[in-house]
Every structure is written in C-alpha cells, then in structure tokens.
Amino acid sequence: PVSLCTMSALTDFRVALDWTPNTNHTGFYVAQAKGMYTDAGLAVKILSVHEDDYKVTPAQKVLQGLANVAVVPKETVISHATRGDGKIGLKAVGTIMQTNTSAIVALKSSGLESPKDLDGKKYASYGARYEGRIVQEMIRHAGGKGDYLEPTPPMLGIWNTLLNGEYDATWVFMGWEGVEARMKGVELNAWSPTDYGVPYGPSPILVCTPEAVSDPKYATFMKVTAEAYKWAAANPEAAADLLVDEVEKEVASGAMQPLPIPLERGMCRESQKYVSGHYLDTKGQWGTLDLSVMSQFVDWLSAHGLLTTAIQSRKEGGTSLDDLRAGKAGDPIPRDQVTVADLFCNA
C-alpha cells in the first residue's frame, strides 16, 4: 500500500555504514524493505564504504554533510573530541549492540594461545587512534611486553590477510567473521578485550553532529530504526533474508555498486542468529547507550595513558602508529576534559 507520506515530499536522509552491508546493519535494511522509513516521511539512502574504499571515512561523511548519521567505532567520538580545538565534532545517538561482540583473533593453527603470544608478531591494524595501544595493553595484561608489528593493509581485505597467513592476528566481529570462520571450518583463538582488562563495551555506534540532535528528523529516524532492529531481533531468519534481498535489489538497480564479495544467504542467517541476541537491552529496547559503560571506557583510556593529544598521520614528520605504541603519543589529556554526557546521548 502507498502511504500518505509517499504522496508528499520525503525528507532525504543518508546513513554512512562502517563496512560493507552485514548483520550489524540489518535493522536499516529491514526498515528500508518494509517501507518503514517512507511511512515516516524519510527517503533513506544507505552508503557503503566499498563505494569509495574509505577515501572519505564514515565520520568525515557526517562532518562534511555527505551523511546525516554514520556507523563508527565508539572511539571515533572520543577521538574527535580530543583534537585540541575544544570542539565536540560528533555526538553518539545510539548503539547497534548492547554488548561487545568483537575480539582479537588468531588462527588456532598458528599456535598463538594468548594475547601475550603476539609479542614479535604482526597484527593487521585498521590504523585507528587507540587500536594499537588497546591491543598492546591486552598483551601486557596477559603477561607479554606489548612489542609487536602493526601493518595497515587495505581495510576491506584485512580478514583475508589473517586467513591466508600473511599476518598473525586482527580485530573482528565474532558475529560476522567469527561465524564465517566457523562455517568454513577455520578454527580461531579469540580474545575479547573485556577478558584482558579493557572495559570495552558495545561498538559500533551511531553518530551525528551535535547540532543535529535536536532536529526532529533524527528522532524519527532513530525511532523507526529501533522498531526495525526489534523486529530483526525477534525474526532473525526473515531479517537476514530481507538484508540479502534488499542489498541485491540495490545492486541490481544501480543504487549501490556490486559488493566485493556478495552476501551469502546461509552465512547471513547464521550470523543473524548470533547478533539478534545482542541487539536489545534487558528492557527489550534497541540503541540505548549506557553512559556509565562509556565512562568506564574513558576512565580506562585515561588510567592507562591512552588519552593523549597525538593523532596518527601518514604525513612526513607526522605521528605514526609505531610512535603511539612507543609512548610518543603527545601530552596527557586530563580526564575531566572529556565529558561523556556531552559525547553520548540517547536520541
């Protein structure tokens, strides 16, 4: 049926994903497929990173006005608030998951049994500001020195560098790459940050500019998206099918470039079974950011010396990831300069 909203002008709304479409993003595609966004007056376009290969990051798409919201690691919000200009660049308005579903992994066949075994090894990095030092602290917590190599291969190919033995470990989502490995019969040793002293909490999150939080269309988007994720939590197999069907439809119509690796229905169904159990909080709500959990993570960054001014750069003379891990990370940022309630809210 055609809704009344489709007869009047719809409001354009763009969502920048952090990766190619996967089950972390199912709710967006459920809402799209079921006409929930158009019923609410929104013409939503979903932007995947493979279309520009991160030339403009999801966060930058929001800052440059190319997207209304972006899916990003929660560290991105903290990083953008600690650039020395006193500005809060991005504000979190919801979380995809309620619990951390990510882990550092190595192939079981590698013989690496603990993070401490990563000393002297190659960790395939996404090149994020805190990432290498979080891994370093996990290694130290497990009894190692934290001395390892941090190459940064093209992001969308990182998982394959682990599978083909090029690198020794990387950070993945257990609900996606972890499920794929299981289905392929590839055994992994997985180490959750939470088990090695890092109160990591849920990630990724949804962000927008601070000014946008009061715009009614953002509240509308979040309300509809929450309903779609609740439906996906209750109907994992049907939700996975909608994800696959909707992405295939977008590719076929030319609205999205073909994915580097097409979604596989069986894999998406298995993955969805896993992630649907992590979408909702104990009250059955989606998207709720627990500010105390976010505060614990910022407390940890501060206590372990990761809350510093230096930002990695590929420019000549810039700070490298190696510099950050070696302690050449700039000056400490006082903990009280990072106000969690200013960075994270529930839209």
pLDDT digits (tens, 9 = 90+) for 316-329: 778 999 999 999 99
Q: Is the dihedral of CA 56, 60, 65, 67 positive or negative?
A: positive
User: How many independent structural domains does the chain possess?
Assistant: 2
Does 252 reside within a domain?
A: yes
Using DSSP bridges, classify how beta strands 205-208 and 69-72 pair: parallel, antiparallel or unpaired: antiparallel
Does 313 reside within a domain?
A: no
Same domain? For 106 and 92 the reply is: no
Does 302 reside within a domain?
A: no
Tens of pLDDT, residue by residue over 159-171, are 999 999 999 999 9
Query: For position 6, what pLDDT does the model report?
Result: 47
240 pLDDT more than 90: yes
253 pLDDT more than 90: yes
Does 297 reside within a domain?
A: no
Q: Domain boundary at 167, 182, 200, which?
A: 200
Does 339 reside within a domain?
A: no
Query: For residue 11, what are its two tokens?
Result: 């409001």
Same domain? For 89 and 210 the reply is: yes
Same domain? For 143 and 262 the reply is: no
Cα separations in angstroms, 195 against 114, 115, 129, 135, 137: 11, 11, 21, 12, 12
Query: For position 324, what pLDDT does the model report?
Result: 95
Does 15 reside within a domain?
A: yes
Same domain? For 115 and 194 the reply is: yes
Same domain? For 209 and 86 the reply is: yes
Same domain? For 183 and 128 the reply is: yes
Please report which confidence band the pLDDT of residue 84 belongs to, taking 50, 70 and 90 as the band edges: confident
Neighbours of 111 (CB within 10 A): 9
158 pLDDT more than 90: yes
Note the Cα 119 to chain centre separation in Å. Answer: 26
Same domain? For 189 and 221 the reply is: no
Same domain? For 31 and 112 the reply is: no
CA distance 54 to 127: 12
Does 329 reside within a domain?
A: no
272 pLDDT more than 70: yes
Tens of pLDDT, residue by residue over 103-123, are 999 999 999 999 999 999 999
State which H helix or E strand residue 268 sits in: helix 265-275
CA distance 203 to 95: 7
Query: For position 8, what pLDDT does the model report?
Result: 65
User: What is the spatial order of strands in the sheet that 169-173 belongs to?
Assistant: 123-124, 169-173, 102-107, 188-191
Q: Domain boundary at 166, 200, 234, which?
A: 200
Query: For position 211, what pLDDT does the model report?
Result: 96
State which H helix or E strand residue 295 sits in: helix 291-303
CATH number at residue 256: 3.40.190.10
Task: Supply the range of the domain harboring residue 68.
Answer: 4-97+203-278
Same domain? For 89 and 235 the reply is: yes
Computed over every residue of the chain, the mean pLDDT equals: 95
Same domain? For 196 and 207 the reply is: no
> Is omega for the bond preceding 204 within 30 degrees of 0, making it cis?
yes
CA distance 335 to 347: 25
Same domain? For 195 and 207 the reply is: no
Neighbours of 65 (CB within 10 A): 9
1 pLDDT more than 50: no
Q: Domain boundary at 167, 200, 233, which?
A: 200
Tens of pLDDT, residue by residue over 256-265, are 999 999 999 9
Same domain? For 266 and 124 the reply is: no
**Phi, psi torsion values for 312, nearest 5 degrees:** -65, 145
pTM listed for this prediction: 0.95
Does 318 reside within a domain?
A: no
Query: For position 298, what pLDDT does the model report?
Result: 98
